[in-house]
Structure 1
């Protein structure tokens, strides 16, 4: 949607791939009624231009799905990025074999020439993987407002991920729709992707994580664009818009001690022969599920201990962990910079300037912190990849 300026760059990226055994599916999409909304006509015309570019492309053959021309667009509640991904993935599923790999891409993301080759190799190395959450990196734009916003958002994501890795908490993946892949057999096993209006990538990976292993390391990264966008309800673009306006309340640096509490719960679950320990996190879950004992019915239904643990991990999933952190994980006594600074020093021995500020420090200084977090995260991912690869 509204991507004609990005299409040619994407096609160049695809044509430059050094792995050629693939088919390209593209969905240009928008709500059909936008053709009758004056302020949306520019987007409609841009989508029409995108269709022409794709139809006239002389390179790799494209299976083009038109969900934007008059009469062809989304109708009613069936609209948004979730339906776009579902439409494309279902079309692939209809013609693919079980061992093929669905690689999700976006028009505003750059993929290095070895991207598809690296994923094909990763699949061969990890044939049991149910998904690949590919490492990502937002390139800076040179426009200060956008760069500050994307760096703050990416540091939030990497901070969250690092806490999951540090504490060995399940669901250690970052969901980015332009940087994920799944084998067709896994897509079929979960019944496909659920078309949420936003966050479909998160829920998709969550479903895939519950039937197997999500691989989080890859030798090549995806490079999503850093731009202000309100095309979805939440995600990178809306976060940048709100953050640029001074509102980062939805993306705080949660108290590391709350991650420790979640970790203790899972450790107790893995090691205890009877009930896991009772703590604030368990109390939150009992209240959430309106029960006095979350684990009792799971234990009744699963006499085998490993099956019981699996059922518990499926119940206490990434969404529940995030909900808990949103309720109990915000340390309001510290400024966000202080929380980040103390975290890096206490857990990784990294010292950043005392006067560091997302608003006042230079873009280069903020970028340096982003790169330090990215390096730490990559180390965790690669260690895990080497430990679990087949």
Structure 2
């Protein structure tokens, strides 16, 4: 049944939460059936391009304990419109395999029927594929008028714990104000050759170090941004403007921007297990980093000097003093800050940006919140790269992590 064939569709469409987003994005149903069961509370979205292990992921999901609500799993098989013939054939076979798997296994979840989708050459990639799937999930929740429906992002090479659905459901039942959550992750290492295993171990250590160091600075939105390990409510998804179309890093940009809307929790009671494979599909991310490690062009033993984070903390500790600050007092402040920080602020033209922020903040409380929308994760990364070009060099990962552990009492380290 098409959405428009449903007797209550037009009445529902006018009143539901995602109507404007769907109209603006020109979203149409791509799955059959077009409407999910009324008790659907959770939709998993899995982008899938040239994926040999998608059935292992489905097997892993099928072995999970059943949550209270109904579950759908959207497998968004896709390829660029100029894909090689063998890639198109591979995807068609994957589609047939998924349909057959669904037919013979009778899992507790349903897999809506979506044929392989060609994506425009300009935008084809992880971001647009994830967006297509998440848009369909939002549209489906819209037909049920469920802004609190959960859209779960997963990858086609990822396994999950048996309590995966239960713990996701429980988290949002216990934290009704949360608009999203990240999940614990550990890359698969069984059967992985030693050099690659060493690389993924170092990379995971780096991710935990970086997040912990961010938290130490006082940055309030330090979170993991792994595409296969996050959840967002349908209402927050459309309010944020949906997933972006970036070919890589779409998860990082999406989650960092989502922090402006509300609280993103952390689910530590279950775990997802992404593949530790190398990849040439995207310009950056886990796969390319591991490939560079194997090639010898990336040394994962080195990381950002902890001193850079400590110096940045001195600015964040004084952020209240930046509220309605005059240019004269700002220049005085610059002289009192560590040189790497003051030099970066000058290089970045930060006072002009700060003045714009101050004009739009009527109270200190509003300023304190919006300050980190200005000095966000993107600007922090910009500072780290600038300061390591001018003042620091990268240092041993384990030594920097030890420095953080010794000085910080936060709970972010493994």
Fold equivalence (TM over 0.5) = yes
Match of 2:403 among 334, 338, 346: 346
Give the 3 Å change call, closer, same or farther, for CA 17–222 of structure 1 in structure 2.
same
Aligned to 1:78: 123
Match of 1:110 among 149, 153, 159: 159
Give the 3 Å change call, closer, same or farther, for CA 16–271 of structure 1 in structure 2.
farther
Aligned to 2:341: 281
1:44 pairs with 2:88: yes
- Residue 19 of structure 1, CA deviation: 2.6
Note if contact 2:82-2:121 (Cα within 8 Å) is conserved in structure 1.
no
1:309 pairs with 2:368: yes
- Residue 86 of structure 1, CA deviation: 0.4
Alignment of 1:17-28 (within 5 A): 17-20=64-67, 21-28=70-77
The structure carrying a bigger strand percent of its residues is 2
Q: For 1:313-340, what per-residue CA distance to the aligned partner results, in whole angstroms no more than 9, with x for missing partners?
A: 1011101101111121479976743xx3
Note if contact 2:237-2:243 (Cα within 8 Å) is conserved in structure 1.
yes
Aligned to 1:361: none
TM-score, normalization by structure 2: 0.76
Task: State the structure with more CA Rg.
Answer: 2
Aligned to 1:55: 99
SS in 2 for 1:207: helix
Match of 1:299 among 355, 358, 361: 358
Alignment of 1:66-215 (within 5 A): 66-67=115-116, 72-96=117-141, 97-142=146-191, 143-215=193-265
Give the 3 Å change call, closer, same or farther, for CA 15–196 of structure 1 in structure 2.
same
CA distance in 1, matches of 2:402, 2:203: 20
Note if contact 1:253-1:330 (Cα within 8 Å) is conserved in structure 2.
no
TM-score, normalization by structure 1: 0.80
Note if contact 2:159-2:274 (Cα within 8 Å) is conserved in structure 1.
yes
Give the 3 Å change call, closer, same or farther, for CA 341–61 of structure 1 in structure 2.
closer
Give the 3 Å change call, closer, same or farther, for CA 51–282 of structure 1 in structure 2.
farther
- Residue 75 of structure 1, CA deviation: 2.1
Give the 3 Å change call, closer, same or farther, for CA 86–285 of structure 1 in structure 2.
farther
Give the 3 Å change call, closer, same or farther, for CA 282–349 of structure 1 in structure 2.
closer
Gaps of 5+ in 2: 1-47
Aligned to 2:61: 14
SS in 1 for 2:66: coil
Alignment of 1:221-232 (within 5 A): 221-232=271-282
Aligned to 2:284: 234
Give the 3 Å change call, closer, same or farther, for CA 227–324 of structure 1 in structure 2.
same
Aligned to 2:412: 380
CA distance in 2, matches of 1:35, 1:196: 21
Aligned pairs, number: 344
Gaps of 5+ in 1: 351-375, 383-390
CA distance in 1, matches of 2:404, 2:82: 52
CA distance in 2, matches of 1:295, 1:236: 34
Give the 3 Å change call, closer, same or farther, for CA 77–273 of structure 1 in structure 2.
closer
CA distance in 1, matches of 2:96, 2:412: 44
Give the 3 Å change call, closer, same or farther, for CA 381–192 of structure 1 in structure 2.
farther
CA distance in 1, matches of 2:350, 2:207: 32
